[in-house]
Amino acid sequence: MQPLEGITIADFTTLLPGPLATLMLAEAGARVIKIERPGGEEMRHYPPRIGGMSAPFAVLNRGKKSVVADLKSDGDRARILRLLEGADVLVEQFRPGVMDRLGLGYAAVKAVNPSIVYCSISGFGASGPRAPDAGHDLNYQALTGLLSLSCGAPDRPVLPPAQIADIGGGSFPAVLNILMALLRRERTGEGAHLDIAMTDAMFSFAVLARAEGEASGRYPGNGTGMLAGGLARYNLYAT
């Protein structure tokens, strides 16, 4: 028996952070139902293709069941709410406020399923001045100063070979917190709303550089003080 057998996950996410998180949960035995807009999520159209299917989409979404729904349609939204009545976990990756406007925010879903574990993944979290801002993996690394630890000149840092913020700040924290929330629910019967901000985790990747800077007054990297500046800027954004 796999550890998450019997757990049903409603996956509203696209691209990389959420789909990778739900893939890891699916591989642990969870049943993942992927909610896609008419025409499918954008990654279905990403090259390269294998047998007519997007290889990136296939890698991230294998083993999941897809359901098409127009979330702006009253009928489709009602159908999805009925599906959510029997779900254990919901994972979404829209900008903060979008699910509320669609009538599928945490309060609305909790009303039909009080024990739901509702996981929201975004760039800057659900509150604060930057909450509604769009961004990409590289933006989150740059704003926190993590990119300054890359080799290369300060104005031309070498780009990381992987999506550190998407995976290390989105996928992994989502999986970890979903599992902890499920364990807590097992003990208390209570659900939870998880707020995963991809930018927050970037400081974890620079923890040794921060320790060196705090102790010596000199921060490593290609832009002296950029890491400290990133921390100071983000503390302002988070308030």
Residues designated catalytic: 136, 166
Question: What amino acid occupies position 79?
Answer: R
Rounded Cα gap, residues 57 and 48, in angstroms: 10
Rounded Cα gap, residues 120 and 99, in angstroms: 10
Contacts of 85 (CB under 8 A, 6+ apart): 112, 113
State the first-to-last Cα distance of the chain, in angstroms, to the nearest integer. Answer: 45
Q: Is the dihedral of CA 33, 189, 85, 123 positive or negative?
A: negative
Contacts of 22 (CB under 8 A, 6+ apart): 9, 11, 13, 30, 32, 34, 64, 91
* Residue 36, strand partner residues: 68
Rounded Cα gap, residues 47 and 56, in angstroms: 7
Output the six-digit token pair for 180.
Answer: 């902890």
Contact by Cβ (8 Å): 150, 225: no
